[in-house]
Amino acid sequence: MSHPTTRAIRTFTVVSAVAALTLAGCSAADSSSDETETTADGLTPVSLQLQWFNQGQFSGYIAARDKGFYEDAGLDVEILEGGVDIVPQTALANDQVDFAIAWVPKALASREQGATITDVAQIYQRSGTLQVAFAESGITTAADLAGTNVGSWGFGNEFELFAGMAQADLDPASDVTLVQQQFDMNALLSGDIDAAQAMTYNEYAQLLEAENPATGELYTPDDFSVVDWNDEGTAMLQDAIWANTERLTTDPAYEATTVAFVKASLQGWIYCRDNAEECRDMVVAAGSQLGASHQLWQVNEVNKLVWPSPDGIGMIDQDAWDQTVDIAMTAVNDQGSTVITAAPDDYAFTNEYVTQALDELEAEGLDTTGTGFTPLSVDLEAGGE
């Protein structure tokens, strides 16, 4: 896929303007200007919409704010927590925020429905989604799910699972019993499901923070088996920084802000790679809903999804992108639906801005690949305290 140049995007924008403006709810002309609004301190105000509440998943952005990286880049960044009723990519497309964090498949689905948004930095280089079972179940691969009760979150979080089952020649409508899973691990712990969806950095930790009634001690990793979609070959790209395509194509000031925002955000992620415990403290101080040991686990696990980044943090790998798109077009859920019905256009992602950001960071002597990254060993406490 050729990466869109600014000129190419601008040409495309003229063609698609009518549909885009209908979705945006405010004209591109309204948000297009060579001049940038500034605060009393001369900073450019920027809003970032997260996918969920403040937690280690977003520690790089929190660190960029708290360590002054955004301010050094000339930005006054407001980080907005997500929630069950907030769709970041929609808020971005509707000009309610300047940037958003979203999983690639969900954002592609929104793009197909008319959201003109562009992935400008792929922070997570690999998937953090697992299917977790008790070790005695014998479930270690997608094929082992046959004949079991399988938890699925739905809401677009399920397609790695369905792609894995399809690859194992399992029909989700007849070979397994699908169970709508809440965003916790209670159904697995109670025995209502045999294999539950979990993120390495969140729900999996919740299992290890729970007491094993048989021993009175916390569960350990030996009590569970996992199906890792990275190993199964059906992983999809997740957390990325998305920008408003219309503004990228019409507003030079927004383009400059995008480079500055991406650069400072990457600096935050580099900081959390090298200072995980301090980033844990910043996340807790930001009001995380779970405690300190959980957040250190989360920062550490998220670092594993980011580092190493062989081409530089934030660079979008063509092979990983193509695999994500292929699964999004071909994996069918139990309702017979795919994420998208056609390949996204060339404006779905660009490495133009992250390349500029990386060049500046490398010129300043920062390690942008994390080749020597070594994760911590984290001890979880009961309830994540």
pLDDT, position 125: 97
pLDDT, position 31: 42
pLDDT at residue 11 above 80? no
Q: Are strands 129-134 and 195-199 parallel, antiparallel or unpaired?
A: antiparallel
pLDDT at residue 241 above 80? yes
Entry pTM: 0.90
Whether 186 and 276 share a structural domain:
no
- Region 39-62 average pLDDT: 96
Dump pLDDT digits (tens) for 129-151: 999 999 999 999 999 999 999 99
Average pLDDT, the chain: 91
Whether 184 and 247 share a structural domain:
no
Residue corresponding to tokens 């404006």: 347
pLDDT at residue 381 above 90? yes
pLDDT, position 29: 35
pLDDT, position 4: 41
9 within domain boundaries = no
pLDDT, position 35: 55
308 within domain boundaries = yes
Whether 121 and 133 share a structural domain:
no
- In DSSP terms, 131 is beta-bridged to 197, 227
Among the candidates 170, 204, 228, a domain finishes at 228
pLDDT, position 36: 64
- Region 168-197 average pLDDT: 94
36 within domain boundaries = no
pLDDT at residue 339 above 80? yes
181 within domain boundaries = yes
pLDDT at residue 6 above 80? no
pLDDT, position 39: 87
If pLDDT is split at 50, 70 and 90, which confidence band does 10 have?
very low
pLDDT, position 30: 41
pLDDT at residue 82 above 70? yes
Classify the phi-psi angles of 368: left when phi > 0, otherwise alpha if psi is within -120 to 50, otherwise beta: alpha
pLDDT, position 154: 85
Whether 94 and 215 share a structural domain:
no
- Region 360-374 average pLDDT: 98
- In DSSP terms, 224 is beta-bridged to 134
Whether 242 and 265 share a structural domain:
yes
Whether 290 and 206 share a structural domain:
no
- Region 350-363 average pLDDT: 98
Indicate the SS3 state at residue 158. Answer: coil
% of the chain at pLDDT higher than 70: 91
Whether 257 and 354 share a structural domain:
yes
pLDDT, position 17: 33
pLDDT, position 40: 85
pLDDT, position 41: 86
Half-sphere exposure at residue 106, Cβ-oriented, CA atoms within 13 angstroms: 20
If pLDDT is split at 50, 70 and 90, which confidence band does 26 have?
very low
pLDDT at residue 18 above 90? no
Whether 248 and 337 share a structural domain:
yes
pLDDT, position 332: 87
If pLDDT is split at 50, 70 and 90, which confidence band does 7 have?
very low
How do the residues of the chain divide into helix, strand and coil, expressed in percent and rounded to 5?
Answer: 45, 15, 40
Whether 289 and 242 share a structural domain:
yes
Whether 77 and 166 share a structural domain:
no
Whether 203 and 134 share a structural domain:
yes
CATH number at residue 165: 3.40.190.10
Q: Are strands 177-180 and 240-244 parallel, antiparallel or unpaired?
A: unpaired
Among the candidates 171, 205, 228, a domain finishes at 228
111 within domain boundaries = yes
Whether 247 and 357 share a structural domain:
yes
pLDDT, position 266: 98
% of the chain at pLDDT higher than 90: 83
pLDDT at residue 110 above 90? yes
- Region 57-79 average pLDDT: 98
Into how many domains does the chain fold? 2
pLDDT at residue 383 above 90? yes
277 within domain boundaries = yes
Does residue 178 contact residue 193 with C-beta atoms inside 8 Å? Answer: no
Distance CA 355, CA 69 (A): 18
Among the candidates 180, 208, 228, a domain finishes at 228
pLDDT, position 13: 35
Which residue type sits at 23? L
260 within domain boundaries = yes
Domain ranges, residue 109: 44-125+237-364
Distance CA 167, CA 170 (A): 7
pLDDT at residue 62 above 80? yes
180 within domain boundaries = yes
